[in-house]
Amino acid sequence: MAEIAKTIELTDERFLTFRSEGHFYALPAETVSEVARLPPIARVPQAPPSLMGLANLRGAVLPVASVRALLGRADVAATHASRLIVLEGASPVALVVDEVSSLVRIAPEKVKTAEADIASEGGEHLRGVFDSGSHVTKILDIPELLRRGFAQTAPKQQSLPTTAGATTTAKDAAVEMTRQRLVTFEVAGQDYALQLEVVREIVPAPKNLTFVPGSDDAVRGVMPYRGGLLPLLSLRRLLGLPSAILSLEKVLVVTIGDVLIGFVADRTRAVLSVDPDRVDPAPPVLAARAGGEAQIKEIYRAGQGKLVSILVPERLLREEIMQKLAQDETTMKPTDETRDASDAKELRFLIFQLDDNDFALPIDAVEEVARVPDQITRLPKTPKFLEGVVNLRGEVLPVVDQRRRFDMQATTVNANRRLVVLRTEQHRAGLIVDSVSEVLRCSPDKIKPSPDLTGDALGIVHSVINLEASGRIILLLDPSELLTRTERGLLDTFNKQPRSREFRQTKP
């Protein structure tokens, strides 16, 4: 009898049952890889309604679909009972359900396939039904629901971001070669800058620092960084300015000699592409007053009487501090992941936010980052995405409201909004974003193709930056695809129009 029971049990079909909006559903157990709690989900702009976004599940980037949305029902906020069901397959997909019930065994004869069409309602598509004793459970045909819910596309060809900001004409290239790109930041109410090429990354300062007893008074502590410890030095103290600890501090990671240093600034301002004619050597009297080499190498005349002091990283530290850091075995050196020899292989990205979502652009495609101008000239009879035009150092720059471009809800103006000036092979435009948070550096193996399930509407999502250690996913945008064909045509027409006298004569 035991052998007969065992044989019957082996022939039973296993199903994972779950609930969605009060209905009971099931999936064949062999199609389920695992069940997990909901991880952070990166929302994808202009995604099909069924796609909640992308999630990082132990290093794998998965598209996350809502079962409610697949069934044509209103989505609701996740609760503590909500679960993620990960499906097996060559291209795994995760489903969000209201609650997972149980794993059941059902005899094959109890699974009714002929009644599937009769039992289905609304947007359901069923493979069969069975009676579990207390209620009828419907077996969903997930492949068909996904086919209906998403526009399938041919697999995208992944290509790593390169110098997307390169211009197409020799004249433009020559102009870019002569311009400097500066990272500007604020320290005690004053504006300073470092050349972009010496800044490895810009990251938020951690809330909790590990202080080093007996260290120099400029040393703020250490923070975890790329598998090691990064010493943090206060720019306020190094520049002889009043000390203060602010909640929104930024860390500029710089290589000096054989060590990595994190300089703590009050806040970052912008990434600027500056005209060399506006950059002057620092007056010799500054070096004389400092008793040697001055910390300030050059001064950038930013307009409206504003001056930005360009610092020299190696001159910020006294020789004895550098020697102490170099001799300290815990200080990060450019090794394996951070060595200078690998710098050419690593890629840098500008990270910006829309709502609570992170997006990335290749730093080579970003000409500069600036405050959103107070005056934007509106243009009649243009699409909603085109906010207008501004005068940026004598050139007319079309401005795109990126929230509108992504069909996001309008938001109130905030002080953190920034204008990201983007240059593609054919166009130059300014993108208004909610905020800019950091310059991220990562190796090419962190960049993964976006899942094909996301569909044709998401060609702008070039791929994703998968930061496995932190479980963070950043959507990497393709600069050349940020504008549709129609919009690119509009900008082509706009670029051919003669500039108005007003814009030719005014400078910021």
Kindly tell me if the per-residue pLDDT of 171 is higher than 60. no
Instruction: Look at residue 168 and tell me whether its pLDDT is greater than 60.
Output: no
* Same fold for the pair 2-149 and 183-342: yes
Q: Which helix (H) or strand (E) holds 140?
A: strand 136-140
What pLDDT band is residue 319 in, cutting at 50, 70 and 90? low
Q: Token pair 């990335």 is at which residue?
A: 360
pLDDT > 60? residue 302: yes
- The kind and range of the H/E element at 182 are strand 180-187
Q: What is the mean pLDDT of residues 18-27?
A: 93
Residue 211 has a pLDDT of 66
The whole-number average pLDDT for the span 450-461 is 62
Write down the mean pLDDT value for the chain: 79
Q: How confident is the model over 57-103, as pLDDT tens digits? A: 887 888 999 999 999 998 888 899 999 999 987 778 999 999 999 99
Superfamily of domain 183-342: CheA-289, Domain 4 (2.40.50.180)
Residue 352 has pLDDT above 90, yes or no: yes
Residue 238 one-letter amino acid: L
Span of 221-225, 254-258, 393-397 with lowest mean pLDDT: 393-397
Across the chain, how many H-helices and E-strands are there?
11, 33
pLDDT of 288 strictly over 70: no
pLDDT at 25: 96
Lowest-confidence region among 35-44, 142-151, 355-364: 142-151
pLDDT (0 to 100) of residue 95: 96
pTM above threshold 0.85:
no
Q: How confident is the model at residue 329 (pLDDT cuts 50, 70, 90)?
A: low
User: Residue 314 is encoded by which pair of tokens?
Assistant: 């190696």
Q: What does the pLDDT read at residue 393?
A: 73
Strand partners, 82: none
Q: How many CA atoms lie within 13 A of 82 on its CB side?
A: 18
Please determine, for residue 506, whether its predicted confidence score (pLDDT) is greater than 50.
no
Q: What is the pLDDT of residue 291?
A: 44
Give the range among 2-6, 361-365, 388-392 with minimum mean pLDDT: 2-6
**Which of the listed ranges 17-26, 221-230, 418-427 does the model predict with the highest average pLDDT?**
17-26
Task: Compute φ and ψ for 358, nearest 5 degrees.
Answer: -95, 135
What CATH fold (topology level) applies to the domain 347-505? Answer: OB fold (Dihydrolipoamide Acetyltransferase, E2P) (2.40.50)
pLDDT over 60 (residue 17): yes
Q: Provide the pLDDT for residue 289.
A: 47
Dist CA 401 CA 27 (whole Å)? 43
Give the model's pLDDT for residue 166: 40
Nearest to 35 by CA among 53, 17, 61, 23: 17
Euclidean distance between CA atoms 269 and 308, whole angstroms: 11
pLDDT at 299: 92
59: helix, strand or coil: coil
pLDDT at res. 163: 43
219-225 and 136-140 strand pairing: unpaired
Q: What's the mean pLDDT in 27-49?
A: 90
DSSP 224-281: EETTEEEEEEEHHHHTT------TT-EEEEEEETTEEEEEEESEEEEEEEE-GGGEEE
pLDDT (mean) for 264-276: 88
pLDDT-derived band at 482, boundaries 50, 70, 90: confident
Which of 16-20, 81-85, 193-197, 451-455 is least confident? 451-455
DSSP character for 80? Answer: T
The pLDDT, as a whole number, for residue 58 is: 81
Of 57-66, 169-178, 399-408, the one with minimum mean pLDDT is 169-178
DSSP state of 75: -
CA distance 350 to 257: 25
pLDDT of residue 336: 43
Neighbours of 361 (CB within 10 A): 24
In this prediction, residues 439-451 reach a mean pLDDT of 86
**Strand, helix or coil at 222?**
strand
What is the structure's pLDDT at 339? Answer: 46
Tokens of 132: 């579990």
Asked if 265 contacts 250 with a C-beta cutoff of 8 angstroms, the reply is yes
Residue type, 23: H
**The pLDDT of residue 323 is above 80:** no
| pLDDT beyond 80 at 353 | yes
pLDDT score, position 293: 54
Output the furthest CA–CA distance in the chain (Å, rounded): 101
Q: Where are the domains of the chain?
A: 2-149, 183-342, 347-505
The CB-side HSE value for 473 (13 A sphere, CA atoms) comes to 26
State the burial class of residue 36 (Cβ atoms within 10 Å of its Cβ: 0-12, 13-18, 19+): middle
CA distance 5 to 176: 78
Which CATH number among 2.40.50.180, 1.10.1580.10, 3.40.1030.10, 3.40.50.720 corresponds to the domain 2-149? 2.40.50.180
Convert the pLDDT of each residue in 340-351 to its tens digit. 444 557 889 999
Split at pLDDT 50, 70, 90, the class of 324 is low
Q: What is the DSSP track for 27-86?
A: EEGGGEEEEEPPPPEE--TT--TTEEEEEEETTEEEEEEEHHHHTT-------TT-EEEE
Percentage of the chain modeled with pLDDT above 70: 76
